[in-house]
Structure 1
Amino acid sequence: MEAFLSSTFAVAVAEIGDKTQLLAFILATRFKKPLVICLGIFAATILNHAAAAWVGQWIADWLTGDMGRYVLSASFAAVAIWMLIPDKVEAEESRFYRYGPFAATFVLFFLAEIGDKTQVATVLLAAMYDNYWAVIIGSTVGMMLANVPVVMMGKLSADKLPIKWVHRFSACLFLVFAVLTLTHG
């Protein structure tokens, strides 16, 4: 349960103000089909985060002992610093728009998520917790918690949040993961 809750919370907080959340808003305003956009985000996230969790499990098997703990802790600390750098997304026309709202959302969201903070966080969480499915489900729930309100209510929900403070809080959360990794090895 800890892996699920940690993954849900970490990804939900990390996603606020992230480029994929901005992309979700752009797609929602472009297509005006919120349910279809949400389904595309869900499908892309499941696939992307399943791959990320697999990589995290592989890293955990490969890096063991103190060296693994130190690398994982340093990685969480690096993500904490990365959280303080704001994301931007361009609202340009995409060639994927012609395939409709689901396909465009699926492809664009999947591609935008590659190497994104939340994907890297999923890799690290899967390396930290030996519970592949809990991390995938938790990170997907976190992604949906952050993106569904933006899609359903438009930019209103994101504009009302103090993004700078959300990013600082998220950075602190990843620092906590770094410390916990070091102290619980």
Structure 2
Amino acid sequence: MAGEFLEAFALVFTAEIGDKTQLMLMTLSAKYTMMQMLLGILLGVFINHGAAVVIGCCLSNVIQGELLQIFAGFIFVIFGILTIVYEEEEGKKKSFKFGPVITTALTFLLGEIGDKTQLTAMTLAMEADYPALVLMGSVSGMLAIGLVGIIIGTSLTKRIPSNIIRIISGLVFIIFGLMRFIDK
């Protein structure tokens, strides 16, 4: 039971290190308070990952258990490879003219649609016994990495090259994916 929460937390936290979302947080942290941003992250991610968990649960009712494990493993390995190989465009930032909480929430909600963390929440929910724990773990992971992004600001990317951060994050996904093949 706690394993589902911890797995979702670890995967989401690791996937977001150095991601576009952290870059967006660094920008917003100059304008808004930490509490405003954390509330915005909570709202945006809860809606985004909540939808992913619901979709994942629906898919789990259609796909058999062993096939689900293989599918989840395949998806995680692909996420890992894409994380290592793919570099995101950093020049595109969305700007909204709402309050700080809604601006942060909308930025997260729209910025994370189809992102690897949303797809991770969906994939984990497909095989979860307790999908609510997957949602809590993924939201907690986003809040934790958001807090790190707000506190540290740009210092992490100044000390550690982004390609190393990307490689480590990608390898974590590949390892989790390979573990799915072994566990089936």
Q: Scaled by the length of structure 2, what TM-score is found? A: 0.89
> How much does 1:131 deviate?
1.6
Within the alignment, does 1:172 sit opposite 2:134 as a pair?
no
8 Å CA contact 2:68, 2:127 repeated in 1: no
8 Å CA contact 1:53, 1:132 repeated in 2: yes
Within the alignment, does 1:27 sit opposite 2:28 as a pair?
yes
> How much does 1:91 deviate?
5.7
Question: More deviation in 157-166 or 9-18?
Answer: 157-166
Q: Residue in 2 aligned with 1:5? A: 6
SS of equivalent residue, structure 2 residue 29: helix
Q: How many residues align?
A: 182
> How much does 1:90 deviate?
3.0
- Please list, as runs of the form range in 1=range in 2, the aligned pairs for 1:1-185 lying within 5 A after superposition: 1-29=2-30, 31-84=31-84, 85-90=86-91, 92=93, 94=95, 96=96, 98-185=97-184
CA distance in 1, matches of 2:94, 2:178: 43
CA distance in 2, matches of 1:168, 1:128: 26
> How much does 1:34 deviate?
2.1
8 Å CA contact 1:60, 1:127 repeated in 2: yes
What are the ranges of 5 or more consecutive residues in structure 1 without an aligned counterpart?
none
8 Å CA contact 1:126, 1:135 repeated in 2: yes
Task: Kindly provide the amino acid, as one letter, of the partner of residue 148 in structure 2.
Answer: P
8 Å CA contact 1:53, 1:123 repeated in 2: yes
SS of equivalent residue, structure 2 residue 18: coil
Instruction: Tell me the alpha carbon deviations over residues 59-79 of structure 1, each in whole angstroms, 9 at most, x when there is no partner.
Output: 222111433232222111111
Instruction: Tell me the alpha carbon deviations over residues 6-41 of structure 1, each in whole angstroms, 9 at most, x when there is no partner.
Output: 111111010011111111112212x23222011101
> How much does 1:142 deviate?
1.0
Distance 1:93 1:82, change over 3 A: closer
Task: Kindly provide the amino acid, as one letter, of the partner of residue 173 in structure 2.
Answer: F
8 Å CA contact 1:13, 1:166 repeated in 2: no
Identity percentage of aligned residues: 28
Distance 1:92 1:80, change over 3 A: closer
> How much does 1:158 deviate?
4.0
